[in-house]
Amino acid sequence: MTVTFNSGTVADSPAVYLKPKRVEAEYGIPVGTLANLRWKGTGPRYVTAGRSILYARADIEAWLEAQAVEPVAAGR
């Protein structure tokens, strides 16, 4: 399920929020891994709406980018 909320400003595009199952389908991060990351406090930002957990697409992508590892040439 994708939920879209307007950020309140005309210039900004609406934020798109994804439920954990949708994050798994689109980004390959298992729902259980997302739950563990929330528990440890090391995963992507999320919001709660009632009993639902939602991730902003921009937050998922920023978190993934922050996980990038620069390769080091062998023999250095």
Q: Is 51 helix (H, G, I), strand (E, B) or coil?
A: coil
pLDDT the model gives residue 4: 57
Beta bridge partners of 4: 16
Instruction: List the chain pLDDT tens, one digit each, 76 residues.
Output: 555 554 444 445 678 999 999 999 999 999 999 999 999 999 999 999 999 999 999 999 999 999 999 998 876 6
Q: pLDDT (tens digit, 9 = 90+) per residue, 26-38?
A: 999 999 999 999 9
Residues 6+ apart with CB under 8 A from 25: none
pLDDT the model gives residue 6: 47
